Amino acid sequence: MKALFIGGTGTISSAITRQLAEQGHELYVINRGRRNDRLPDGVRALTADINDEAQVAGLIDGMRFDVVADFIAFEPAQLERDYRLFAGKTKQFMFISSASAYQTPLSDYRITEGTPLSNPYWLYSRNKIACEEYLVKMYREDGFPITIVRPSHTYDERSIPLGVHGRKGTWQVAKRMLENKPVIIHGDGTSLWTMTHNSDFAKGFIGLMGNIHAIGESVHITSDETVTWNQIYEIIADSLGVELRAVHVASEFLAECGDIDYRGGLLGDKANSVVFDNAKLKRLVPDFVATTRLDQGLKATIRNILEHPELQQEDPEFDAWCDRVVGAMEAAARAVKEG
């Protein structure tokens, strides 16, 4: 199989790239070359800014692909560019959308591909919906061979997946745990969530590549395992060898007092209980199964981060914000008690 990835070194795409290389497929990636040291041997890098349409058109002149996949498109204009570049050059075009595009709040916590797409809380999700709508239009009107893939919360060995964190990633939350500081969990921590290791996501994605039954379809790829946020944070604390000191804070409060977009990330996504039905994926890819249990995957991630200090990016600004939020909650509780 001859494939071209726009991106190829991110959390989701890196595992797919690695598995395709191991299987001996002919893979090209288009990116700016900043993280190409992560590419496996045999993967061919086309160094370019995908937004420079003329440059990319020159690089792929005369080339045809079995699959083209865009991992870094977020707005319809970027898909319009992809259509101009790849219409007639690929047998399948795969777009990475987002499970956050599904109806928020949900009318039924069990999510299938038939769940309506609607998210009034998060512009990111609405843009993904608009991207999907454009691609479906081009499939219906012009036969552009699309497959839409919706990941949920996918993680790898380089970052701890969490609900509330700062702009510089999630290490600071782990650092707070190691320092016996309280950590913030949105809501009461009992809402249901699904996390998927990127190696499991890759198995489902590769099964959709070159799959004639996936043309014109939208498919989500997630684990079948569902846990609460309290369980997630307990697993992380246990992996660090510490006791969890959790402070539960309403998502609405965090959205109001945070200087980053907790409204979208929480109210438009992680504050909602979600359980994914992967029956459609398993019909299309009969041998798909997510085999990385969350506690095992998180422990491996944390072990890797502890062994690589370069992955431990501190975030003093977020740390101070956590202290202020925790202090405000404690002060409110005292004020109520004292009347």
Is the pLDDT at 34 greater than 80, yes or no? no
Region 225-244: what's the mean pLDDT? Answer: 98
Kindly state whether residue 33 falls inside one of the protein's structural domains: yes
Kindly state whether residue 322 falls inside one of the protein's structural domains: yes
CATH code of residue 237: 3.90.25.10
Task: Assess whether 183 and 235 both reside in one domain.
Answer: yes
Query: What is the pLDDT at residue 320?
Result: 96
Quote the strand ranges of 99-168, DSSP E: 110-111, 146-151, 153-155
Q: Of 3-7, 39-43, 48-52, where does mean pLDDT reach its minimum? A: 39-43
Query: What is the pLDDT at residue 26?
Result: 96
Task: Assess whether 184 and 88 both reside in one domain.
Answer: no
Reported as a pLDDT band with limits 50, 70 and 90, residue 38 is confident
Query: What is the pLDDT at residue 18?
Result: 95
Task: Assess whether 13 and 126 both reside in one domain.
Answer: yes
Region 321-328: what's the mean pLDDT? Answer: 96
Quote the strand ranges of 8-72, DSSP E: 26-31, 44-47, 67-70
Give me the number of domains the chain comprises.
2
Task: Assess whether 21 and 147 both reside in one domain.
Answer: yes
Kindly state whether residue 41 falls inside one of the protein's structural domains: yes
Task: Assess whether 103 and 217 both reside in one domain.
Answer: yes
Is the pLDDT at 109 greater than 90, yes or no? no
Is the pLDDT at 259 greater than 80, yes or no? no
**Cα separation of 7 and 65, whole Å?**
16
Query: What is the pLDDT at residue 184?
Result: 98
Is the pLDDT at 36 greater than 80, yes or no? no
Query: What is the pLDDT at residue 13?
Result: 94
Task: Assess whether 122 and 51 both reside in one domain.
Answer: yes
Task: Assess whether 182 and 121 both reside in one domain.
Answer: no
Kindly state whether residue 146 falls inside one of the protein's structural domains: yes
Closest listed residue to residue 6, CA positions, set 42, 53, 41: 53
Task: Assess whether 116 and 13 both reside in one domain.
Answer: yes
Task: Assess whether 116 and 185 both reside in one domain.
Answer: no
The residue range of the domain holding 182 is: 171-194+224-275+292-334
Region 304-314: what's the mean pLDDT? Answer: 97
> DSSP per residue over 211-228, as a string?
-GGGTTEEEEE--S--EE
Region 35-49: what's the mean pLDDT? Answer: 85
DSSP 110: E
Quote the strand ranges of 201-300, DSSP E: 217-221, 227-228, 246-249, 275-276
Query: What is the pLDDT at residue 40?
Result: 86
pTM of the shown model: 0.95
Task: Assess whether 105 and 249 both reside in one domain.
Answer: no
Is the pLDDT at 11 greater than 80, yes or no? yes
Kindly state whether residue 312 falls inside one of the protein's structural domains: yes
Task: Assess whether 242 and 102 both reside in one domain.
Answer: no
Query: What is the pLDDT at residue 101?
Result: 97
Does 105 sit behind a cis peptide bond, omega within 30 degrees of 0 on the bond before it? yes
Region 262-274: what's the mean pLDDT? Answer: 94
Mean pLDDT, the chain, as a whole number? 95
Task: Assess whether 202 and 316 both reside in one domain.
Answer: no
